[in-house]
Amino acid sequence: MELKDYKSVVNYLNSKKREKHLLLGNGFSMSYDRTIFSYNALSDFLNQSEDKLLKKLFSIINTRNFELIMKQLDVFYELAKEFSKDKNFAKNVIIARDSLKTKLIDAITTLHPEHVFKIPEEKSLKCADFLNEYLGSGGHVFSTNYDLLLYWVLMKNKERLTNIEDGFGRDLIEKDAFESDCQPEFGELEWGNNRNVQCVHYVHGALHLFDSGVAIRKETYDGEFLLENIKKRIEKKEYPIFVTAGDGKQKLDHILHNQYLDYCYKQLSSIQGSLITFGFNFGAYDKHIIDAINKAAKQDKSKRLWSIYIGVYSDEDKRHIESISSKFKCKVNLFDSKTVSIWE
């Protein structure tokens, strides 16, 4: 399969006036700083934890794959319920799983750059231009990352970017007649009313998105740094919406049971034109993403997804995509991810 360069892909799609969309995976964040955003960095952080239960867990399940660990813990739990006479064993498995999830959040928040202004201006502007190739032409940006990097760049460059609508907005708080002369007040940033113009989608959720039980809310600056506000929510045992564990089916189950994630997934399933992916490897646990792409490809001829351009970093990546290309119901093309200038 021919390996194209990124610029030629964009130029070709633009010449055809083809609608184009972007799907970002972990490689997007790693291209900014591999030491902060790689799964290995998170694993190293957790390995240094003083939590004895986690230390024991990592020594038994010798892998850096958090999805696999969560999956194995779920299997252990089901086995323990059915076959173990020691009921405390099943409880301990659940404690270990929940502890790992909590520590994972702690790791991500600790390893993040302190705040948006720590991202160098030139890198932020360069990334904004990269994103605007899609947002500025009516396309959609989908991210499977739950870190804050994309959100920070969008927020930092909101005046430079053509469109960064993520579906969230503030509703006016209604007041009674005695308060009619007061300044208008608005509620928290909630998702829903602006979803008809939404073009930025966190398919697996993100650290700044929370489910209150009655609404999906977005944490933002409110006199303090975003990350500090998120930590305060976590300390109150309010946890962000993000999908980290399980195979494709389990991830999809998680997505379908959350109104925001479900909407984002359906939007991915209904795109048309062409999809460009960067830093997304279509691994063993990504079947649900391929299914969404195939749904888009099976739409009516006038509005279907015709092609996908997958970025690869190495010969091994290239061979992997070639080996699974038959799973896609649209034309598959490859480009060299090293030819993409996102941050520099």
Structural domains in the chain (count): 2
Q: Which of 111, 132, 149 is the last residue of a domain?
A: 111
Burial of residue 237, with CB atoms counted within 10 A of its CB: 0-12 exposed, 13-18 middle, 19 or more buried:
exposed
Residue 328 inside a domain? The answer is yes
CB-based burial of residue 167 (10 Å sphere; 0-12 exposed, 13-18 middle, 19+ buried)? buried
CB atoms closer than 10 angstroms to residue 178: 7
The torsion region of residue 249 among left (phi > 0), alpha (psi -120 to 50) and beta comes to: alpha
At residue 180, does pLDDT exceed 60? no
Check whether residue 214 and residue 241 sit in a common domain. yes
Contact present, 4 and 13 (Cβ < 8 Å): no
* Shared domain check, 161 and 75: no
81 and 127, same domain (yes or no):
no
Q: Which residues pair with 205 in a beta bridge?
A: 242
Radius of gyration over every alpha carbon of the chain, rounded to an integer in angstroms: 21
> What type of residue is 234?
I
Please report the pLDDT score of residue 333 as a whole number: 98
Length of the chain: 344
Residue 121 resides in a domain? yes
Domain range for 139:
3-33+116-339
List CB contacts of 161: < 8 A, sequence separation 6 or more: 128, 131, 132, 135, 136, 154
- Which of 60-64, 217-221, 222-226, 312-316 bottoms out in mean pLDDT, i.e. has the lowest? 60-64
Q: Write out pLDDT tens, residues 145-174.
A: 988 899 989 988 988 998 899 999 987 655
Are 62 and 189 within one domain? Answer: no
Residue 326 lies in a domain: yes
Domain edge (last residue) among 111, 143, 159:
111
* Shared domain check, 318 and 178: yes
Cα torsion through 27, 29, 34, 39, rounded to 10: -70
Residues 153 and 46 both lie in one domain = no
Residues 272, 123 within the same domain: yes
181 pLDDT more than 70: no
Of the candidates 90, 111, 132, which is a domain's last residue? 111
Do 100 and 47 belong together in one domain?
yes
Residue 134 buriedness (CB in 10 A; 0-12 / 13-18 / 19+)? buried
Residue 206 lies in a domain: yes
Q: Residue 152 burial (CB < 10 Å; 0-12/13-18/19+)?
A: buried
Question: What is the pLDDT averaged over residues 242-255?
Answer: 78
Q: What is the pTM of this model?
A: 0.83
Q: 68 and 127, same structural domain?
A: no
Q: pLDDT tens digit string along 89-119?
A: 778 777 877 777 777 677 777 777 666 567 8
CB 110 within 8 A of CB 45: yes
* 272, amino acid identity: Q
- Are residues 79 and 26 part of one domain? no
Same domain assignment for residues 90 and 164: no
In a domain, 344, yes or no: no
One domain, residues 189 and 329: yes
C-alpha triplet 232, 142, 337: angle, nearest 5°: 110
Distance CA(294)–CA(291), nearest Å, equals 5
